[in-house]
Structure 1
């Protein structure tokens, strides 16, 4: 079984790199022709990778919540971070939302080629691991620029991937504080994507374990509710706890079948 998983994973990553290069080409071609951020490429790329995950990795993605959700005109998407699937697999399912990501600084450097080029074209916001007031002010300015262009931003407040699912994900309230100051809506999303594990040498190149990956899309929290940070923060934590239980139950049912 382990050998089959390793072979499937190897085949998947052999396709991932050329697909990423093609994605970068279309990103810059679209940017050159239209002068706009090519968010449509991100959604198309996600559809292709999700197809590869299903056919090669034998990983199906189960969505709960509405895929018709909207952030009008824009807002902040908050999620826990489990695996590389979180950034790749979500965009096709949020069909009415154009968005980019807050990423770690190293992802826009050349050592992350070709993904660094895609991150630049999509206007991702790089931050260092060491949180400080300068980073906060920088993010506020960059978020506002994206919002002015009707684009939303996805952020993983905990930063590092957990690669294991926790019953309660204690997210820092940093993103909510920015949402309050910028007077925008918040959309919580919960990922159970442990199927794509971290690699020992290259973090993104771990094994793909067959099964069901879960993405739970929450309800939009409007700006007037976000004003009450404590209540909103607890609401998201409760949502995460509920999603954890749903994921656990779905996996138990699939295992018995």
Structure 2
């Protein structure tokens, strides 16, 4: 049954993603607002499929606040990467440049307002991030960033990438850290497991902290669940 659920998810979600990309290309010349609506529809569709097809539910301690924040999210899987477009309400998303450069999909993301990070560009990459970040800040949009820089396996709590502290300092934005344990229902590979993913929205961290302080605060907050061991997906839900 789990295999069939996963197969149905793939057969619906990925063709729908292609249609969303095509729709995005068609509406992008009209303006950013229609494109954001299309992207949000994609995220909501993903959430519906995750819940009703894969049997994965979310448990939140509270809602993510609205406004111009840096939203620092633990990164385990594609699950939270897509869902940020839903729970953060049309955010700017910092992602690796390789994804932004993808044909079709990459163009749609650029119009939507992602910030591509070229890790080989050094200081130039940070300047580009800040420029786009200031535009998002002026528009009152949150910026979602995965401060570890890449997906990490269960139990891993690597140091944060250097770009996060630089972006925090140069934009002067408060930070909303988000911890979760999606890795236990969304491991690498084809099969995703039914269960409950816990999301914990931490206390807002004010701007103005030193690099050492902000990295320590965010590292602790997004790794809230890392020390725990889960041998099976949880079955409780709100």
RMSD: 2.8
Paired position in structure 1 for 2:124: 134
Could you tell me which of 97, 100, 103 is aligned with 1:105?
Answer: 97
Paired position in structure 2 for 1:228: 210
Could you tell me which of 167, 172, 175 is aligned with 1:183?
Answer: 172
Displacement of 1:52 in angstroms is 0.7
Paired position in structure 2 for 1:84: 78
SS at match of 1:38: helix
Q: What are the superposed Cα offsets for residues 37-96 of structure 1, whole Å, 9 maximum, x if unpaired?
A: 7333333222211111122211112222334x123xx232112211001221233223xx
Give the count of matched residue pairs: 235
Structure 1: distance between partners of 2:142 and 2:34: 12
The TM-score normalised by the length of structure 1 is: 0.78
Q: Tell me if the contact between 1:169 and 1:240 (Cα under 8 Å) persists in the aligned partners.
A: no
Aligned in 2, Cα 1:58/1:172: closer, same or farther, shift over 3 Å?
same
Structure 1: distance between partners of 2:37 and 2:82: 13
Displacement of 1:253 in angstroms is 6.3
Could you tell me which of 177, 189, 194 is aligned with 1:210?
Answer: 194
> Which range is displaced more, 36-45 or 137-146?
36-45
Q: What are the superposed Cα offsets for residues 115-160 of structure 1, whole Å, 9 maximum, x if unpaired?
A: 3243223121222243622212222222222223322221112222
Structure 2: distance between partners of 1:220 and 1:43: 25
SS at match of 2:63: coil
Q: Tell me if the contact between 2:5 and 2:54 (Cα under 8 Å) persists in the aligned partners.
A: yes
Long gaps (5+) in structure 2: none
Structure 1: distance between partners of 2:30 and 2:234: 49
Q: How does 1:38-77 map to 2 (within 5 A)?
A: 38-67=35-64, 69-71=65-67, 74-77=68-71
Displacement of 1:13 in angstroms is 1.1
Q: Does 1:196 align with 2:178?
A: no
Long gaps (5+) in structure 1: 200-205
Displacement of 1:30 in angstroms is 4.3
Could you tell me which of 238, 245, 252 is aligned with 2:220?
Answer: 238
Paired position in structure 1 for 2:19: 22
Aligned in 2, Cα 1:38/1:99: closer, same or farther, shift over 3 Å?
same
